[in-house]
Structure 1
Amino acid sequence: MKKQIHIIGSGFSSLAASCYLAKAGYEVQVFEKNATIGGRSRQLLRDGFTFDIGPTWYWMPDVFEKFFADFDKTPADYYDLERLDPAYEVYFDKKDSIIIPGNLDAIYEIFEKEEKGSSKHLKSFLESAKYNYDVSINDLVYKPGVSPLELVTPVTIGKITQFFSTIRNEVRKKIKSKKLIQILEFPVLFLGAKPSNTPAFYNFMNYADFGLGTWHPKGGMYKVIEAMVSLATSLGVQFKTNANVEEIVVDNKGKATGIVVDGDFISSEIVLSGADYHHTETLLPTKYRQYSEKYWSKKTFAPSSLLFYVGFDKKLKNVCHHTLFFDTDFDVHAKTIYDTPSWPNEPLFYASFPSITDDSFAPNGKEAATFLIPLAPGIEDTPRIREYYFNLIIKRLEELTNQSVKESILFKESFCVNDFIKDYNSYKGNAYGLANILTQTAFLRPKIKSKKVENLFFTGQLTVPGPGVPPSLISGKIASDQILKNHKNETVI
């Protein structure tokens, strides 16, 4: 008889873990509180429009390839990928933008045009970034975060100074253009921290950006979820939606014996949670929780977000599939996220117009748009505030791109702090998990394996390796490896 594993949540990390564990011979069931699989990566369908509710960026394609290769598959077996060219556009002022091309040589030309001599510095910077990327992806990010010795290798010893310098310091050593600096500092936002707090070693995100490029799966990021569900199902994984896990049951010996789902007890031999780590521990008796409320309150969380999903009745001009609006002071905005949690007066924002690339996102002649303002988690969230910021960014969009769009809005829907809490049990409504700052890296993150409850494990963006879709895939593999290692002497079937 197969050994049972019950997984809480169905995001990228849970789906990845479910595939590895089913392949290893376990009977795997996934419990999702919402009506659809995918965790934070869901779809909004309305009036012929399609929106990715969660992630919209497809970076680090090699991580996806590595995942599917572990099952003798490729992404192409499930979805079509297109490398975006241009990758994205960054607005700095009215009619003043830089378009980032889809190939490296063209990017060097853009930099050189903006600041003479900068392409030489960029090449050197990206050589270091590629080296760090290869070290990270081929080794470090797959470590379970058990011991500080995981980070001690001949390579990392030689790079030790990069853990005590910052992205901001490294970027600004040679390049002076404020615009180019902002472009180079932008990718670390995916790690959920300020460039001034992010170790220089994480410049590998710049290689992910410029070297590996920005991609689009036809049909959107939810096609990746559908691919993983298809793979998992073929391996025997069972999914239960509208299934809210209310309790993790622990016996008097400190062993997880099952879960309570919508009032019903389900016996389990192993429990793996891909749900919010803090929330998962509230499902346990207090004495079995590893981390106190004080612990969580002192952690640096990645931002929450105010998101708008908007249908326009016309095609928009002067924007790219991914468009960043950096026409205000990032440092001032960042302080409202990390230092004094509050609503920003002049926020930076991001917009995705996937229907520019993929006509499946909007009816003919119309445009689908997602707008995102990064915010501090835990701040007040009301309909009045949401409406104020929607009008603010739409006005900025019109001014910066030199077009009128407000009267062309067919509908809009929003998603913010309260929704992250309601839909995902997210701590303070954070969107991306724990920030990857030095004191929250690797072994300093919450543990994959519970220290207090036998047979309870965790995966996702609050544990190793960190925020983002590719790291979540990796987290699922790490968690499954730890489960297999923990039970290596047991008969699975």
Structure 2
Amino acid sequence: MSRPDAHHGREVPPGSRITVIGAGMAGLASAALLARDGYRVTVLEKQAQVGGRAGSWEKDGYRFDTGPSWYLMPEVFDHFFRLLGTSAAEQLDLTVLDPGYRVFFEGQQSPVDLRRDRALNERIFEDLQPGAGRSLAAYLDSAEETYGLAKKYFLYTSFASFAPLLTPDILRGAPKLARLLLESLDRYAGRFVQDQRLRQILGYPAVFLGSAPKLTPSMYHLMSHLDLDDGVLYPQGGFIRIVDAVRALAEAEGAQIITGADATAILTDSRPRSRPRAVGVRYRDGSGKTEVLAANAVVSAADLHHTETRLLPRPLQSYPERYWNKRVAGPGAVLVMLGVTGKLPQLSHHSLLFTRDWDANFNAIFRSPTQVPDPASFYVCKPSATDQTVAPEGGENLFILVPVPPDTRLGAGGINRDGDARVEAVADGAIAQLSSWAGIEDLAERIKVRRTLGPADFATDYNSWRGGVLGPAHVLKQSAFLRGRNKSRKVEGLYYAGGTTIPGIGLPMCLISAEILLKRMRRDTTTTAMDEPLIPVTGRVPEVAP
């Protein structure tokens, strides 16, 4: 754990006014930690509701989470809450899912259920391929070791200094780490299991990272420890409950949240012989009026591409457009929210559909010229399997995520089929495929509520780079310290948080991103999680221009 005596002064003095752009999970978490640490925090959120991608939508008694739906890395959530003097158990009602998820394979009549712990999953692997149970045990041993190493040295650091990484653990493990970084996840999994179904199960976590199994470093086989060893949880009431909890904690610490406030520029001063400093944010309020919020520092938890190329002038951009031209975007997505009458016992809480031609599916998304995969490998969530509050009695709530190329030209979605034609066609194809593969012959006829979202929605609503659903893919050149700093190189007092910066994609990573933002401001270069609870620091309150 990091200690207060590891802090060598502050980059931003305690009591300073800090403006956070974006009230997604990273923005809310940043606001909570910064406010607790003695800063005066205001959050500007473009939308009418907070949560960003982790939003909520309701119609006719069906309530949908519009974004994240996998609760993994429970210790990260609990640690974050404990920093604020509470716990996940106090804030959330968590249910263990068993099965954790179900997988349907093209051309196979029987799906495969992955269970709540390692021993059960080893038996499942053994049934599908003799000897694969022992192989999975070895694979998960390595995954657990790698995950422990990542938590200790790579997830909770801002990489402001590399000195803390020069430890015996890292030096001894350097050859293995190098292999894990240079070998693909697909090839690494293939050294443990040969059955295509098992290779797909071990390779699919790449999609959670916005990438493909052949593009993702095998370092990320650590993800299999999370679902096949630790198990999968679900917060009753949906993921919006996590958003509500973090918002309430941020406000309890004194943070102010302004919704309907669309940031249009990060303001800087110009000082002789020194770098410009962030001094505030210009934003447009819900009535269209332009306002200015002065600050001593600015944290952008918005999409990093948008922050750099739209909110800063070209000379002050650390990551200009030419940087993004060389980056690999994660996938876009067509989201389909369906309210269905009658029960769907064929589906688990989480279900995955994997095509036989795995490579063709990912090539369609990541290789130029891109196209929508047909058939597609996609994800289905049925939270009504676990949560009685998300659908009317006797009904089911379905959320389908179809990975597609990150291309806003695919269009936007809509309600009751009024989205753009290509988005609605993807939705129709996914519904028909799910109906066929899962044996739900009358699925289409039972749909009472339908809403779709497409890449253009993500660009419009969340300022997502290229309309992607996740952000930059976790390929080698976009992982760990290569992902990009959480502090501007050209503007003093400008920081970044969220899935498009370090440490990466996913709700747990957004919580960690907020913590390493605070560590950066404290000049804390340790690599481990901070001590619980976070001890507030008080100090002189600097004056800022009105």
Deviation per CA, 1:256-287: give whole Å up to 9, x if none.
11111211111111100000111112211211
Look up the SS of the partner of 2:473 in the other structure: coil
Segments of structure 2 that go 5 or more residues without pairing to the other structure are: 1-13, 285-289, 412-419, 525-535, 542-546
With over 3 angstroms needed to count, the CA separation of the structure-2 counterparts of 1:481 and 1:313, relative to structure 1, is same
What's the offset of the Cα at 1:71?
Answer: 1.8
User: Which position in structure 2 is the counterpart of 1:270?
Assistant: 297
User: Which position in structure 1 is the counterpart of 2:341?
Assistant: 313
What's the offset of the Cα at 1:43?
Answer: 0.1
Asked if residue 353 in structure 1 is aligned to residue 379 in structure 2, the reply is no
User: Which position in structure 1 is the counterpart of 2:521?
Assistant: 483
Residue pair 1:95, 1:402 contacting (<8 A) in 2 also: no
Corresponding letter in the other structure for 2:387:
D
1:429 to 463, 467, 472: 467
User: Which position in structure 1 is the counterpart of 2:186?
Assistant: 168
Structure 2: distance between partners of 1:371 and 1:430 = 16
Residue pair 1:308, 1:371 contacting (<8 A) in 2 also: yes
Residue pair 2:355, 2:375 contacting (<8 A) in 1 also: no
Segments of structure 1 that go 5 or more residues without pairing to the other structure are: none
User: Which position in structure 2 is the counterpart of 1:387?
Assistant: 424
**Greater displacement, 353-362 / 341-350:** 341-350
Asked if residue 260 in structure 1 is aligned to residue 302 in structure 2, the reply is no
Residue pair 2:471, 2:500 contacting (<8 A) in 1 also: yes
Residue pair 1:140, 1:150 contacting (<8 A) in 2 also: no
User: Which position in structure 2 is the counterpart of 1:99?
Assistant: 113
Deviation per CA, 1:117-170: give whole Å up to 9, x if none.
101011011111101111112331111133566655433331332222221122
With over 3 angstroms needed to count, the CA separation of the structure-2 counterparts of 1:203 and 1:155, relative to structure 1, is farther
2:458 to 406, 416, 420: 420
What's the offset of the Cα at 1:317?
Answer: 2.8
1:6 to 19, 23, 37: 19
Corresponding letter in the other structure for 2:317:
R
> How do 1:7-46 residues align onto structure 2 when only pairs under 5 Å count?
7-46=20-59
Look up the SS of the partner of 1:360 in the other structure: coil
2:498 to 460, 464, 484: 460
Residue pair 2:268, 2:279 contacting (<8 A) in 1 also: yes
2:477 to 439, 444, 451: 439
**Greater displacement, 102-111 / 378-387:** 378-387
> How do 1:1-400 residues align onto structure 2 when only pairs under 5 Å count?
2-93=15-106, 95-146=109-160, 152-157=166-171, 158=173, 159-160=176-177, 161-253=179-271, 254-262=276-284, 263-281=290-308, 282-340=310-368, 341-382=370-411, 383-400=420-437
Deviation per CA, 1:426-479: give whole Å up to 9, x if none.
111111111111111222122111110111111111111111111111011111
What's the offset of the Cα at 1:491?
Answer: 3.7
Structure 1: distance between partners of 2:302 and 2:262 = 11
Residue pair 2:352, 2:380 contacting (<8 A) in 1 also: yes
Structure 2: distance between partners of 1:258 and 1:235 = 22
Structure 1: distance between partners of 2:501 and 2:46 = 21
Structure 1: distance between partners of 2:341 and 2:537 = 61
Residue pair 1:421, 1:427 contacting (<8 A) in 2 also: yes
What's the offset of the Cα at 1:171?
Answer: 0.8
Deviation per CA, 1:400-445: give whole Å up to 9, x if none.
1112211101021011111001100111111111111111122212
- Name the % identity: 33
Structure 2: distance between partners of 1:150 and 1:289 = 29
Normalising by structure 1, report the TM-score. Answer: 0.96
Corresponding letter in the other structure for 1:435:
A
Q: Give structure 1 regions of 4+ aligned residues with deviation exceeding 6 angstroms.
A: none
Residue pair 1:249, 1:260 contacting (<8 A) in 2 also: yes
With over 3 angstroms needed to count, the CA separation of the structure-2 counterparts of 1:284 and 1:174, relative to structure 1, is closer
Corresponding letter in the other structure for 1:101:
R
Structure 2: distance between partners of 1:6 and 1:330 = 44
Deviation per CA, 1:306-330: give whole Å up to 9, x if none.
0011111111131101000113422
Normalising by structure 2, report the TM-score. Answer: 0.87
What's the offset of the Cα at 1:354?
Answer: 0.4
User: Which position in structure 2 is the counterpart of 1:401?
Assistant: 438
Structure 1: distance between partners of 2:330 and 2:147 = 21
What's the offset of the Cα at 1:396?
Answer: 1.2
What's the offset of the Cα at 1:239?
Answer: 0.6
Structure 2: distance between partners of 1:219 and 1:108 = 32
Residue pair 1:81, 1:217 contacting (<8 A) in 2 also: yes
Look up the SS of the partner of 1:195 in the other structure: coil
What's the offset of the Cα at 1:399?
Answer: 1.2
**Greater displacement, 113-122 / 148-157:** 148-157
Residue pair 1:420, 1:426 contacting (<8 A) in 2 also: yes
Residue pair 2:269, 2:277 contacting (<8 A) in 1 also: yes
Structure 2: distance between partners of 1:294 and 1:317 = 50
The count of corresponding residues between Structure 1 and Structure 2 is: 492
Structure 2: distance between partners of 1:478 and 1:92 = 40
Residue pair 2:139, 2:192 contacting (<8 A) in 1 also: no
Corresponding letter in the other structure for 1:241:
T
Corresponding letter in the other structure for 2:350:
H
Residue pair 1:145, 1:464 contacting (<8 A) in 2 also: no
Structure with greater helix percent? 1
Structure 2: distance between partners of 1:154 and 1:345 = 49
